[in-house]
């Protein structure tokens, strides 16, 4: 068996990175693509490797030189008109060589696990294409396969239909062909196709024609979680560098991209703090049905959006500011009080103290094993402290500590009496037991306590972080009017506005989703308690703070999990988390994902 790598292309989309070198000379985590693939192929005891080169071929040929002579025989075929042709011509240049042996065909801009080549070699089918279930990052040729894993159609870009993606597989651009198939079928069709259609097509178009004529007998070998990536531009290179990182580097590479983990579909994200059961499919379908209008039309301004949010929570419009996520509102509110002393409980959600000057913070640091505190603890501690604002995140993050509503109202009374404003972030309150009675978002409560301010992220319990929605509420209408002037005129996009508009129709579904979530939290809590190296702190939020008591440090456990494509928060890195305690935080997801995490933890 031999291998052929097509490496003639210019890689224009990589800009400066390919100005003096072809794509396969790119480095991913310190190793060039060409070195990686040659080393992988050299383990297969191939007769030879043929590289079809074109753009910057002198650099590539000089770089390879004799360095692999002891591992594999390498030959070159030159494509002198690489800038006027596509890979169908590069492969046609090698057609005589194709007919000499069974062949592995690869493209040079791929990075993949070693296992992929072994899967091809060991499979009994002589003509085989590696394929992977369609994911959003994939581009190029797709295929359909039948129950016998036969490829029944190649689907070019022009025929791609998003409504049919559940049936699509992406070709990995790694093939195994028999000498017989190449000699008697593929190469003759390649000649005929090139004569009729010219040299600006792609070699898979020939496979498409052969498949239509039922001459291919080409099987698909679907991947099952094995890693691969095709590098066409700088973002592909960035993502590939993350996926194929290892050791401590892997954790840091992923965290550099925190918040955009949807680009890594194989990653199980346990940093992600949202409701796994909402929105419902029906609500998403309504959003999809209005996609064209929402994409092409401007959103409304603050007047309409504050009206929608007020309706959403059943409060007065004059009390409501809508933000591009709670993060926008946190920044504005904290900057509004830059000359005030603020009482802050630790450990907590760092976005708030990070917006304050160190000299503004008057810290309350919980010394309890579970990092808990009560309203009485806070009133006692801050009784003699000079603060203008008391910040309460309830439930708190990362501890999950929760102060019941009746006690928060006592705290609000105490704060009013002392002339202290009380800022309560209740972004996670809908995850609490008896959640329907725990919110402070009621006109009578806001009016009773003019110094009470309530922040709520709509991302968390409502499961729509991509829409970037949050509200800040207070009966201090002067403050609300001032904050409304601080945000930009169109701080909410049309998708967020439409979501606020239609939520009322799905309110019962939301309540059911919260109830379903609470049941899952209880199950997950009991499962985590069975892990011998974890001490699980009870939580009223959608995460559990856990102490790693033996076997690993928090950093080591985080590292072990990222090696299993699971990312968690290493909370030992947060401030005021106890004396050298090893702490991690697990989000709560659905039953399928939580079971998978528990299985991995048991293996560890």
Please state the φ and ψ torsions of residue 213, each to the nearest 5 degrees: -90, 5
pLDDT at 266: 84
Long-range Cβ contacts of 303-310 (<8 Å, 24+ apart): 304/497, 305/492, 305/496, 305/497, 305/500, 306/484, 308/497, 308/500, 308/501, 309/471, 309/500
Q: Is the pLDDT of residue 157 over 90?
A: no
Terminal Cα-to-Cα distance of the chain (whole angstroms): 40
Query: How far are the Cα atoms of 17, 28, 291 from residue 13, in angstroms, in the given order?
Result: 9, 17, 29
Confidence band, pLDDT 50/70/90 cuts, at residue 6? very high
What pLDDT, in 10s, does the model give residues 526-537?
999 999 999 999
Q: Is the pLDDT of residue 215 over 80?
A: no
pLDDT at 8: 95
| Cα 229 from Cα 246, distance rounded (Å) | 16
CB 429 within 8 A of CB 437: no
What pLDDT, in 10s, does the model give residues 375-401?
999 999 999 999 999 999 999 999 999
Helices (H), 437-506: 443-448, 477-486, 494-502
Give the chain's mean pLDDT: 94
| Cα 236 from Cα 137, distance rounded (Å) | 9
CB 204 within 8 A of CB 87: no
- Cβ-Cβ contacts under 8 Å for 365 (sequence gap 6 or more): 346, 576
| Cα 582 from Cα 64, distance rounded (Å) | 48
Q: Is the pLDDT of residue 510 over 90?
A: yes
User: Rounded to two decimals, what is the model's pTM?
Assistant: 0.86
Q: Is the pLDDT of residue 214 over 90?
A: no
Q: Mean pLDDT, to the nearest integer, of 518-529?
A: 98
Residue 182 or 263, more confident: 182
Q: What number of residues does the chain have?
A: 604
pLDDT at 216: 67
Place of tokens 């609500």: 283
CB 32 within 8 A of CB 77: no
What pLDDT, in 10s, does the model give residues 322-338?
999 999 999 999 888 88
- Cβ-Cβ contacts under 8 Å for 391 (sequence gap 6 or more): 342, 343, 344, 345, 348, 352, 423, 425
Does the domain formed by 281-508 have CATH 3.40.50.880?
no
What pLDDT, in 10s, does the model give residues 284-309?
999 999 999 999 999 999 999 999 99
Q: Mean pLDDT, to the nearest integer, of 19-30?
A: 93
SS3 call for 68: coil
Asked whether the domain spanning 281-508 has the same topology as the one spanning 249-276+515-603, the reply is no
Domain boundaries, the chain: 2-240, 249-276+515-603, 281-508
* CATH class (in words) of the domain with range 249-276+515-603: alpha beta
Domain spanning 2-240: CATH superfamily: Spore Coat Polysaccharide Biosynthesis Protein SpsA; Chain A (3.90.550.10)
Determine if the peptide bond prior to 110 is cis (ω within 30°): no
Q: Mean pLDDT, to the nearest integer, of 146-166?
A: 90
pLDDT at 379: 98
Give CA angle at 542 (540, 547), nearest 5°: 80
pLDDT at 489: 87
Report how far Cα 588 is from the mean position of its chain's Cα atoms.
Answer: 16
Percent of the chain with pLDDT over 90: 86
pLDDT at 142: 93
């Amino acid at each position: 068996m031999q291998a052929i790598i097509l490496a003639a292309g210019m890689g224009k989309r990589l800009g400066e990175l390919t100005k003096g070198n072809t794509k396969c000379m790119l480095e991913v985590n310190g190793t060039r693509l060409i070195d990686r693939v040659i080393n992988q192929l050299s383990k297969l005891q191939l007769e030879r490797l043929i590289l079809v080169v074109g753009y910057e071929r002198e650099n590539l040929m000089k770089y390879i030189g004799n360095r692999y002579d002891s591992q594999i025989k390498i030959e070159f075929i030159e494509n002198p008109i690489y800038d006027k042709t596509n890979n169908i011509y590069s492969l046609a240049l090698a057609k005589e060589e194709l007919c000499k042996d069974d062949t592995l065909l690869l493209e040079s801009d791929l990075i993949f696990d070693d296992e992929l080549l072994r899967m091809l070699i060991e499979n009994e089918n002589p003509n085989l294409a590696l394929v992977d279930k369609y994911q959003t990052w994939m581009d190029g040729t797709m295929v359909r396969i039948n129950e016998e894993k036969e490829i029944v159609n190649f689907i070019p870009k022009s025929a791609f239909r998003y409504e049919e993606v559940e049936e699509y597989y992406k070709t990995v651009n790694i093939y195994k062909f028999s000498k017989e198939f190449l000699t008697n079928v593929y190469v003759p069709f390649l000649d005929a196709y090139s004569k009729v259609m010219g040299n600006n097509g792609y070699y898979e178009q020939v496979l498409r024609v052969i498949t239509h004529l039922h001459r291919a007998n080409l099987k698909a070998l679907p991947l099952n979680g094995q890693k691969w990536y095709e590098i066409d531009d700088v973002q592909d290179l960035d993502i590939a560098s993350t996926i194929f990182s290892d050791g401590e580097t892997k954790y840091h590479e992923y965290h550099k991209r925190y918040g955009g983990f949807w680009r890594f579909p194989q990653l199980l994200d346990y940093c992600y703090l949202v409701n796994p059961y909402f929105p419902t499919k029906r609500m998403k379908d309504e959003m999809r049905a209005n996609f064209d209008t929402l994409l092409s039309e401007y959103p409304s301004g603050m007047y309409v959006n504050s009206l929608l949010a007020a309706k959403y929570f059943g409060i007065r419009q004059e009390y409501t500011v809508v933000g591009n996520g709670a993060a926008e509102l946190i920044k504005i509110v904290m900057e509004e009080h830059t000359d005030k002393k603020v009482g802050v409980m630790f450990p907590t959600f760092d976005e708030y103290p990070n917006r304050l000057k160190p000299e503004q913070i008057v810290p309350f640091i919980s010394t309890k094993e579970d990092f808990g505190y009560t309203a009485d603890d806070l009133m006692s501690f801050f009784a003699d402290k000079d603060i203008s604002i008391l910040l309460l995140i309830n439930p708190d993050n990362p501890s999950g500590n929760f102060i019941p509503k009746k006690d928060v109202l006592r705290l609000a009374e105490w704060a009013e009496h002392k002339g202290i404003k009380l800022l309560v972030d209740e972004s996670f309150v809908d995850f609490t037991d008896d959640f329907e009675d725990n919110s402070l978002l009621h006109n009578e409560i806001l009016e009773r306590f003019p110094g009470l301010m309530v922040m709520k992220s709509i991302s968390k319990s409502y499961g729509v972080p991509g829409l970037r929605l949050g509200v800040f509420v207070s009966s201090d209408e002067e403050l609300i009017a001032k904050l409304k002037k601080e945000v930009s005129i169109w701080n909410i996009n049309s998708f967020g506005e439409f979501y606020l508009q239609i939520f009322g129709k799905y309110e019962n579904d939301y309540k059911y989703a919260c109830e379903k979530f609470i049941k899952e939290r209880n199950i997950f809590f009991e499962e985590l308690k069975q892990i011998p190296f974890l001490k699980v702190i009870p939580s009223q939020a959608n995460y559990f703070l856990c102490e790693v008591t033996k076997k690993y440090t928090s950093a080591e456990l985080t590292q072990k999990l990222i090696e299993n494509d699971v990312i968690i928060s290493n909370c030992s890195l947060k401030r005021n988390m106890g004396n050298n305690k090893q702490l991690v935080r697990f989000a709560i997801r659905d039953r399928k994902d939580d079971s998978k995490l528990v299985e991995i933890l048991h293996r560890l």
